[in-house]
Amino acid sequence: MTLYRDTGVVLRVQKLGEADRIITLITRRHGKLRAVAKGVRRTTSRFGARLEPFCHVDVQCYTGRTLDVITQVETIDAFAPRLVDDYQRYTAGCAVLETAERLSAEEGEPVMRLYMLVAGCLRALSAGERDPSLLLDAFLMRAMAFAGWAPAVFECAKCGAPGPHQAFSVPAGGAVCPTCRPPGSASPARDTLVLMDALMHGVWDTADLSTPATRREASGLVAAHLQWHLERQLRSLPLVERRSQ
């Protein structure tokens, strides 16, 4: 029996048998991890409440035949209590968890940067100091950069011509110049592209000054770009409440 420890964020839980659960985490050293937590659905469980979505935990596991087994859990951050009482923050958090699970498709493959993005975004959402919509879009932009899908914002996605450009094509990879512009391209406002760049690079003074209309347009482009590359829709994104604080 091989024991190991890691820190991670709980992404999802599934029932297993009468009293157990399969816990899906994104971890610092082991990437996406699916492990069995035995007896956590019983009222006498010692650590069942620590293995819920949004929990940031330190876990000890041992290697099993098919799934590893969780033997110890210590809470690092309990984000859930500060998220579930606010619908906008909760739905944004759900979109963060679902995106992280989709982007860490291979179990056991280290994804430390993505893990840090998830933990940082949930911490910012639970603090409640910024618009959850902005925090979610910043996470999605940086998560796409991690996956190699970052949209071009100030240069043409096809030929690299410097911008700013007046067209944006998701299939082409972002902003496009007049020469490369394919049919059906969107025509976002320049402030929208400025906001997307600010979210990618953490320029919060610029992001916080953006208008509700600019935020809505940026959110639409970010969501469309992500789901194009995932080749499927995220179930949580349509539920996210988009409003300014």
Average pLDDT over residues 205-211: 94
Does 244 score more than 70 pLDDT?
no
Multiple choice CATH, 3-80, 2.40.128.20, 2.40.50.140, 3.40.190.10, 1.20.1250.20: 2.40.50.140
- E-assigned strand segments in 3-145: 3-16, 20-27, 31-37, 55-62, 68-78
pLDDT-derived band of residue 243, with 50, 70 and 90 as boundaries?
Answer: low
Checking if the pLDDT of 226 tops 90, the result is yes
Q: Which pLDDT value is given to residue 129?
A: 87
The domains of the chain are located at: 3-80, 130-239
Degrees, nearest 5: CA angle 226-151-102: 25
pLDDT digits (tens, 9 = 90+) for 95-149: 999 999 999 878 888 899 999 999 999 999 999 889 999 999 999 999 999 999 9
Angle CA 39–42–44, to nearest 5:
100
CA atoms within 13 A on the CB side of 95: 33
pLDDT on residue 24: 95
DSSP 181: P
Mean pLDDT calculated for residue range 207-234: 92
Position 158 confidence tier, pLDDT thresholds 50, 70, 90? very high
Is 65 or 27 the better-scoring residue by pLDDT?
A: 27
| Residue 185: DSSP 8-state | -
Confidence class for position 1, pLDDT limits 50, 70, 90 = low
